[in-house]
């Protein structure tokens, strides 16, 4: 009879490989069509090692994603627990769910069945929140031990707050309790127990013995979406059209979750550190577990409540398991929520809520942006916080001071549209709706600011970062902000170096010869933070800040503040330079100028080659504090034959860009560099096209340059036509003083190699053009 039941159960819930494989193919095809960017973070080995995977739950479709990713990575099709309502009727959908490994949550022997599955080598996905938590509100009522909060969420079915489900914890404890007990029996020589239990679990003794040697690992994981959009989408409009009017709940889910799927959305899945339940048991527990396993008839006996057991020793043993359930559950929840992928919307939302809690209902936009920027910089320094790439890649947030940060502007625009925030005379006014209670099913639509704030709430380090930002925002000096902005320049260099080291870029990267330190640098001699004069140093095309580092060091040795700019696309990979418009190069120079300005009264820009052209474009804007410009080997005419073919090759690339192999052949040309340890060996054709555009813009802007100019040009330059110096002078009609110095050199890199006393010529110009740095200036210790 028992054998028949087992066969019926196995048949009823059999995972159908054909169905799973079809589903994986379908989801892979869908993934290529929708605009959701799924990223799995964490050690990929954990997917193979794990037995029980626990996820938070915010959207319906995410219940399929973990199984899909685990199957892609490991080839194992997981079991998952699904709502019993989907299995009430024996129809095509319920059979499909079973074929994918779904088990109803109200199945009478749910946990024993899953335990047997794991002992046979399977994996299980569980959502311990028990349902969608649309408000993302998780309360942690602190116990005496602050590291073990008792988490609770709102249950729509119960219409009240409740603790998370304990099934995953009980499952892990019972499996490891069984493993411990059976292993102790085998150590005592009771080998018949292995065969008995292998038969009971319907597996082989060899498979069961292998399972005993492996810890039962639980992996809490966090799924985070960004951004959260609330505007109508085609899916919702179409459903409403054909359904003749949707319920508010259905409309909300189609709008929110349709936007998650069909509008650019990041879905970050982050695996936490593994939790091993066996560490819960002490040596007394282990002895009792051996007795329990020896007297049990089936795995179901280990899951029976203690009060249902007749024998007192069995009750005591069961208590050895059950007393660990809640602590283990809460520990797993702590790991799950701490693995949130924190984004800018989280910080902005919690910041607004903190102001409202203090009775602040409006803030200056500039104050808001400065505080949020400081919070970003603070969380970058914090430990134990996982940051969304929008806060790790400075390119995504450095426009915050110019109202050009898309992720923040989109966030504010959405809040304004929903009537949560109002823009008025340079202020953000926080409207009453922000603090109004929203229904569980409408909160994602009505108040996403609250949803974001709720989601961030368990991350204590993020709270600390925000509180620190609020405390320091009105007390930091421009130099303090400049230091943080220079840190962004370093982070941008690191981000792009890592981004362009992926295998798909290897064919070009492996040919590169540059080994010099390519990061930007800021030199503040003697620990001073205020200088009469500073020098901004801008390197040339294909190079990096290392190209002019010798010049920077020589200037710093004379007590000038120096910043060596890294032009976007340089010092990382030719592939990055291929994708960068020349406007990004100029933006790099502007940021460097703004950073250096915080430490200096006067600034001179020294640009080499392309850097000279960019420096001239910036000088044409006549920025405050600019007193001089050096243009070394700066082109208006070229001798380099690569540039002769740029229009033809760039046009061919645009035409054949849809053919990857053709594009790879045409996208780069070899570069015979004077300094292979600094310059790219491969020249991106797109970069050459942008170089021509930058030079053309310089020619147009030269008449607007008013400050004194020094032009240095080698008479035998093999890259730049020496006639460029005279042509530049001819166009710089608004310049107050212009000096051309022709150097005896057939090399292009006159500053790098200090040919014909080139470095001292620059230093002499700097010393004569700007006041000397005073030795009486008070020194402020560097932080």
Domain extent at residue 398: 340-476
The CATH code of the domain that includes 735 is: 3.40.50.1820
Q: Do 718 and 639 contact (CB within 8 A), yes or no?
A: yes
Q: Are residues 216 and 75 in the same domain?
A: yes
Q: State how far the Cα of 709 lies from the Cα of 719, in Å rounded to an integer.
A: 22
Q: Are residues 392 and 316 in the same domain?
A: no
495, part of any domain:
no
- Mean pLDDT computed over 572-577: 96
Of 335, 366, 387, which closes a domain? 335
Q: State how far the Cα of 178 lies from the Cα of 723, in Å rounded to an integer.
A: 86
Q: Are residues 601 and 704 in the same domain?
A: yes
Q: Are residues 320 and 357 in the same domain?
A: no
pLDDT for residue 649:
45
Q: State how far the Cα of 626 lies from the Cα of 724, in Å rounded to an integer.
A: 24
pLDDT for residue 594:
97
487, part of any domain:
no
- The region of weakest confidence among 44-48, 467-471, 545-549 is 44-48
780, part of any domain:
no
Q: Do 269 and 41 contact (CB within 8 A), yes or no?
A: yes
Q: Do 233 and 253 contact (CB within 8 A), yes or no?
A: no
pLDDT tier, 217 (very low <50, low <70, confident <90, very high otherwise) = very high
Q: Are residues 617 and 700 in the same domain?
A: yes
Q: Are residues 328 and 345 in the same domain?
A: no
Q: State how far the Cα of 735 lies from the Cα of 715, in Å rounded to an integer.
A: 23
Residue among 354, 356, 326 at smallest CA distance from 456: 354
Q: State how far the Cα of 163 lies from the Cα of 608, in Å rounded to an integer.
A: 65
Distances (CA, A) of 317 to 118, 287, 340, 360, 397: 22, 9, 37, 56, 56
**Edge-to-edge strands, sheet with 362-364:** 362-364, 427-430, 421-424
Q: Are residues 292 and 164 in the same domain?
A: yes
42, part of any domain:
yes
Of 335, 353, 383, which closes a domain? 335
pLDDT for residue 259:
82
Q: Do 107 and 117 contact (CB within 8 A), yes or no?
A: no
Q: State how far the Cα of 396 lies from the Cα of 344, in Å rounded to an integer.
A: 10
493, part of any domain:
no
Q: What is the DSSP letter of 431?
A: P
Q: Are residues 258 and 378 in the same domain?
A: no
Q: How many domains are contained in the chain?
A: 3
Q: Is the model's pLDDT at 244 over the cut of 80? A: no
pLDDT for residue 62:
83
415, part of any domain:
yes
Question: 3-class SS at 738?
Answer: strand
Of 274, 302, 335, which closes a domain? 335
pLDDT for residue 642:
57
pLDDT tier, 780 (very low <50, low <70, confident <90, very high otherwise) = very low
pLDDT for residue 246:
62
Q: Are residues 360 and 443 in the same domain?
A: yes
Q: Is the model's pLDDT at 307 over the cut of 90? A: no
Provide Rg for the chain, Cα atoms.
Answer: 33
Mean residue pLDDT of the chain comes to 89
pLDDT tier, 779 (very low <50, low <70, confident <90, very high otherwise) = very low
Crossing angle between the packed helical segments 283-295 and 312-322, to the nearest 10 degrees: 130
Q: Are residues 347 and 291 in the same domain?
A: no
782, part of any domain:
no
Q: Are residues 622 and 693 in the same domain?
A: yes
516, part of any domain:
no
Q: Do 391 and 380 contact (CB within 8 A), yes or no?
A: yes
Rama region for 265: left / alpha / beta (φ>0; ψ in -120 to 50; rest): beta
- The region of weakest confidence among 310-314, 432-436, 514-518, 713-717 is 310-314
**Model pLDDT for residues 488-523, shown as the tens digit of each residue:** 999 999 999 999 999 999 999 999 999 999 999 999
Q: Are residues 276 and 358 in the same domain?
A: no
- Structure tokens that stand for 130 in this block: 């028990």
Backbone angles phi, psi at 423, to 5 degrees: -90, 130
- Mean pLDDT computed over 274-300: 88
**Model pLDDT for residues 601-647, shown as the tens digit of each residue:** 999 999 999 999 999 999 999 999 999 999 999 999 988 665 544 54
pLDDT tier, 232 (very low <50, low <70, confident <90, very high otherwise) = low
């Amino acid at each position: 009879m028992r054998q028949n039941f087992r066969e019926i159960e196995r048949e009823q819930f059999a995972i159908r490989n054909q169905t799973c494989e079809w589903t994986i193919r379908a989801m892979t095809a869908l993934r290529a069509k929708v605009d959701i960017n799924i990223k799995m973070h964490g050690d990929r080995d954990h997917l193979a090692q794990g037995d029980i995977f626990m996820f938070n739950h915010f959207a319906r479709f995410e219940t399929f994603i973990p199984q899909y990713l685990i199957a892609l990575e490991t080839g194992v099709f997981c079991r998952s627990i699904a709502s019993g309502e989907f299995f009430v009727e024996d129809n095509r959908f319920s059979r499909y769910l079973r074929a994918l490994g779904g088990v109803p949550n109200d199945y009478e022997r749910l946990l024993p069945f899953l335990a047997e599955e794991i002992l046979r080598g399977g994996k299980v996905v569980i959502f311990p929140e028990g349902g969608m938590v649309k408000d993302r509100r998780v309360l942690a009522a602190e116990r005496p031990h602050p590291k073990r909060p008792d988490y609770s969420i709102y249950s729509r079915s119960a219409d009240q707050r409740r603790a998370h489900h304990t099934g995953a914890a009980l499952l892990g404890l019972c499996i490891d309790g069984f493993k411990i007990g059976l292993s102790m029996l085998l150590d005592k020589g009771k080998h018949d127990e292995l065969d008995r239990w292998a038969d009971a679990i319907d597996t082989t003794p060899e498979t069961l013995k292998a399972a005993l040697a492996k810890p039962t690992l639980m992996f809490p994981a966090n799924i985070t979406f960004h951004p959260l959009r609330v505007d109508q989408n085609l899916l919702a409009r179409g459903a409403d059209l054909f359904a003749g009017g949707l319920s508010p709940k259905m409309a909300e889910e189609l709008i929110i979750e349709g936007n998650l799927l069909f509008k650019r959305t990041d879905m970050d899945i982050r695996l936490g550190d593994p939790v091993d339940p066996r560490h819960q048991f002490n040596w007394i527990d282990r002895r009792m577990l051996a007795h329990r396993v020896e007297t049990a008839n089936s795995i179901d006996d280990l899951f029976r409540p203690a009060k249902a057991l007749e024998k007192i020793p069995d009750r005591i043993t069961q208590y050895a398991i059950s007393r660990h359930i809640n602590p283990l559950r809460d520990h797993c929840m702590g790991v799950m929520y701490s693995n949130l992928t924190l984004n800018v919307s989280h910080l902005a939302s919690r910041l607004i809520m903190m102001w409202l809690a203090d009775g602040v209902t409006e803030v200056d936009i500039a104050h808001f942006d400065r505080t949020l920027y400081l919070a970003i910089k603070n969380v970058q320094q914090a430990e134990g916080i996982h940051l969304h790439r929008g806060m790790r890649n400075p390119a995504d947030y450095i426009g915050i001071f110019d109202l050009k940060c898309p992720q923040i502007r989109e966030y504010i625009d959405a809040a304004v549209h929903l009537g949560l925030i109002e823009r008025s005379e340079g202020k953000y006014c926080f409207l009453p709706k922000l603090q109004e209670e929203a229904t569980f099913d409408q909160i994602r639509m009505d108040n996403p600011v609250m949803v974001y704030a709720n989601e961030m709430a368990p991350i204590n380090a993020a709270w600390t970062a925000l509180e620190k930002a609020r405390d320091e925002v009105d007390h930091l000096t421009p130099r303090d902000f400049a230091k943080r902005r220079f840190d962004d320049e370093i982070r941008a260099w690191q981000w792009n170096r890592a981004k362009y080291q992926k295998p798909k870029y290897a064919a070009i990267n492996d040919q590169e010869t540059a080994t010099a330190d390519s990061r930007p640098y800021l030199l503040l001699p003697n620990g001073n933070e205020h200088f009469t004069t500073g020098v901004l140093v801008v390197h040339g095309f294909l190079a990096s800040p290392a190209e002019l580092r010798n010049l920077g060091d020589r200037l710093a040795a004379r007590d000038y503040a120096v910043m060596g700019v890294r032009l976007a696309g340089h010092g990382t990979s030719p592939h990055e330079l291929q994708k960068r418009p020349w406007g990004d190069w100029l933006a790099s120079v502007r940021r460097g100028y703004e950073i250096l300005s915080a430490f200096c009264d006067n600034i001179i820009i020294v640009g080499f080659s392309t850097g000279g052209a960019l420096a001239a474009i910036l000088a044409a804007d006549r920025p405050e504090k600019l007193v001089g410009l050096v243009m070394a080997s700066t082109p208006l005419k070229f001798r380099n034959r690569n540039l002769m073919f740029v229009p033809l090759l760039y046009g061919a690339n645009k035409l054949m860009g849809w053919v990857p192999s053709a594009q790879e052949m045409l996208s780069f040309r070899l570069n015979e560099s004077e300094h292979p340890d600094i310059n790219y060996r491969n020249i991106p054709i797109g970069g050459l096209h942008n170089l021509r555009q930058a030079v053309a813009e310089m020619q147009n802007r030269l008449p607007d340059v008013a400050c004194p100019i020094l032009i240095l040009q080698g008479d035998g330059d093999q890259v730049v036509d020496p006639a460029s110096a005279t042509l530049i002078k001819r166009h710089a009609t608004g310049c107050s003083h212009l000096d051309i110095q022709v150097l005896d050199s057939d090399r292009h890199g006159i500053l790098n190699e200090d040919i014909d006393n080139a470095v001292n010529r620059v230093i002499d110009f700097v010393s004569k053009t700007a006041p000397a740095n005073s030795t009486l200036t008070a020194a402020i210790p560097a932080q």
